[in-house]
Chains A and B, each alone.
Chain A
């Protein structure tokens, strides 16, 4: 896998979201198309991953979880990165839209992250012989996940929408910053995770399937974020309409 491919994933999702937000005519159909294509691609992935791709050299059929596990964790990272981008954007210029997008990406990111960690744990049992291990990527993903679960809980416990937006933006930045430090600190303990599952260390057929899986879940990621964003916007509207606006508080939409 070339070094820029995570950036490419990130750029694709951001571009889709920007199109969705900026061009109103795409809002009605783009997420539906994305979800539909995703479902078709998922069906194909089941075939490609289970039957078409050759079994892994050392782990045989157990290794096939790779095609779902790795894309899940990537989607989680992409979602959290968009989240921290929204948090910084919100602190620079207040906007209900970035706040809603931050909420959406955090929740979808937690969903994919939890799935990824869970599958990683299931995979670890037959290959490493343990459910859990001191591995930098495992621990940093889990810590990241925990800090975003805290972030979501914090959001639901703060009632004032404006405070919630500002504070959760701060919490998101503080949580995200810890990611590289967690990675280094755990790496210094020890590691038995196999060398990073880059697509270059894989057979070409397996590489194709992994990319297929990644693109499949990218469609889902986009559709989920968009739907969750719309829910967040609707909730904001009801929350802001219900009581009269306190005087002197202005928030740009």
Chain B
């Protein structure tokens, strides 16, 4: 397939998923409320001391996104798992790599919108200052969401057909996401608070590297993962 077909296929997959999502709104609603309650639970678990909460706010925010991502990634192939829709999609014909790109874009967008919804909540609950470096903050959030979505899409395509899929996804995904979590939390921290030693760029670079590596590995591996369906 020609490169134009690849991107167009990805766009069509993305559009299809968003149309389903827009009509049901099931996934976004579920993830938003799940992560809201996670953030609230963190503030209960850590007690009322606002200084502690403010200091650890980036960690709570990313854990909220990470836990919610398991829900949303697990759902992302549920439509395809039913009625052998994946075979239909592959026979359409859509290049499997287009499906990967489209699904990654869809998952990353969903997580990014979730992060945008959560930001005002972190202001309310943890009293963080968002206006210090909003550009870097948005970049860190976007790169982090792509970082979750890229390996997450491959794993969710596999685990959506396995037994005990709800257990399998975090078991496979979380170890791989350790560096992404480290980098995303650090980048967010330095975008929200003082960055005396200018550490922010190096963490953003690490996040970018993580994204590129997993996008390319996923791009290569994904066709083999779905071809047997």
Q: In the complex, are the beta carbons of A173 and B217 less than 8 A apart?
A: yes
Is B46 an interface position by the 8 A CB rule? no
Is A131 an interface position by the 8 A CB rule? no
- Complex Cα distance, B180 from A181, in Å, reads 9
Tier of interface size on chain B: 35 or more
Q: Which residue of B lies closest to A155 (CB)?
A: B162
B residues 181-226 in Cβ contact with A at 8 Å: 182-183, 202-203, 206, 209-210, 213-214, 217-218, 221-222, 224-225
Rounded to whole Å, the gap between the CB of A150 and the closest CB of chain B is 4
- 0/1 interface trace, chain A 127-145, chain B, CB 8 Å (1 if under): 0000000000001000110
- Interface segment among B36-44, B116-124, B130-138, B168-176: the answer is B168-176
- 0/1 interface trace, chain A 179-190, chain B, CB 8 Å (1 if under): 001101110110
B residues 141-165 in Cβ contact with A at 8 Å: 151, 154-155, 158-159, 161-164
Given A167-B225, A170-B158, answer yes or no on A153-B176 (Cβ-Cβ < 8 Å).
Answer: no
- Complex Cα distance, B228 from A169, in Å, reads 14
Q: Which residue of A lies closest to B216 (CB)?
A: A177
Q: In the complex, are the beta carbons of A174 and B155 less than 8 A apart?
A: yes
Interface SS majority for chain A: helix
Q: In the complex, are the beta carbons of A189 and B162 less than 8 A apart?
A: no
Q: In the complex, are the beta carbons of A174 and B176 less than 8 A apart?
A: yes
Residues of B within 8 A of A188 (CB): 202-203, 206
- Kindly identify which residue among B154, B162, B175 contacts A170, using a CB–CB cutoff of 8 Å: B154
- Kindly identify which residue among A149, A157, A162, A171 contacts B164, using a CB–CB cutoff of 8 Å: A157
- 0/1 interface trace, chain A 143-168, chain B, CB 8 Å (1 if under): 11011011101100111001100110
Residues of A within 8 A of B5 (CB): none
- Complex Cα distance, B166 from A216, in Å, reads 41
- Complex Cα distance, B158 from A188, in Å, reads 33
Q: In the complex, are the beta carbons of B224 and A184 less than 8 A apart?
A: no
Given A166-B225, A170-B221, answer yes or no on A185-B206 (Cβ-Cβ < 8 Å).
Answer: yes
Q: In the complex, are the beta carbons of B151 and A174 less than 8 A apart?
A: yes
Is B88 an interface position by the 8 A CB rule? no
Is A91 an interface position by the 8 A CB rule? yes
Q: In the complex, are the beta carbons of B228 and A162 less than 8 A apart?
A: yes
Residues of B within 8 A of A157 (CB): 162-164, 167-168
Rounded to whole Å, the gap between the CB of B204 and the closest CB of chain A is 13
Residues of A within 8 A of B168 (CB): 150, 153-154, 157
- Kindly identify which residue among B172, B203, B221, B227 contacts A147, using a CB–CB cutoff of 8 Å: B172
Is A178 an interface position by the 8 A CB rule? yes
Rounded to whole Å, the gap between the CB of B91 and the closest CB of chain A is 15
Which residues in A have some Cβ–Cβ distance to B below 8 Å?
Answer: 91, 139, 143-144, 146-147, 149-151, 153-154, 157-159, 162-163, 166-167, 169-171, 173-175, 177-178, 181-182, 184-186, 188-189
Which residues in B have some Cβ–Cβ distance to A below 8 Å?
Answer: 151, 154-155, 158-159, 161-164, 167-168, 171-172, 174-176, 178-179, 182-183, 202-203, 206, 209-210, 213-214, 217-218, 221-222, 224-225, 227-228
What are 13 A-to-B residue pairs whose CB atoms are below 8 Å? A139-B178, A153-B167, A157-B163, A157-B167, A166-B225, A174-B172, A177-B213, A178-B178, A178-B179, A181-B206, A181-B210, A185-B183, A185-B206
Known: A163-B228, A174-B151, A189-B182. 15 other contacts (CB 8 A): A144-B175, A149-B171, A150-B175, A153-B167, A154-B158, A166-B228, A167-B162, A170-B154, A171-B172, A174-B176, A174-B221, A177-B217, A184-B179, A185-B178, A185-B206
